[in-house]
Amino acid sequence: MPSLGGSRDLHDLSSADRRHRVDAVPSTAVVRFAQETRLSMNDQMFLDHVADRLAALPAVQAVTLGGSRAQGTHTPESDWDFALYYRGGFDPADLRAVGWEGEVSEIGGWGGGVFNGGAWLRIDGRGVDVHYRDLDVVEHELAEAEQGRFRWEPLMFHLAGIPSYLVVAELAVNRVLRGTLPRPGYPERLRAAAPRAWRDRAAMTLQYARAAYAVRGQLAEVAGALATAAMCSAHAVVAARGEWVTNEKRLLSLAGLRGIDTIMAGLRPDPEALTRAVDDAEALFEAPWFEATYFEAPWRPGPGGERRG
pLDDT tens string 238-269: 999 999 999 999 999 999 999 999 999 999 99
CB 129 within 8 A of CB 65: no
Q: For each of the domains in the chain, give its residue range(s) and CATH number, in order of start.
A: 8-178 (3.30.460.10), 190-308 (no CATH)
Model confidence at 284: pLDDT above 90: yes
Please tell me the predicted confidence (pLDDT) of residue 308.
Answer: 43
User: Average pLDDT over the chain, rounded to whole?
Assistant: 86
> What is the distance between the alpha carbons of residues 142 and 214, in angstroms, rounded to a whole number?
40
* Per-residue pLDDT at 149: 98
Mean pLDDT of 276-294: 91
pLDDT tens readout for residues 200-246: 999 999 999 999 999 999 999 999 999 999 999 999 999 999 999 99
pTM recorded for the entire structure: 0.81
Compute the distance between CA of residue 18 and CA of residue 39 in angstroms, rounded to an integer: 28
Q: Give the per-residue pLDDT at 58.
A: 97
- Give the pLDDT score at 42: 85
The pLDDT value given to residue 31:
55
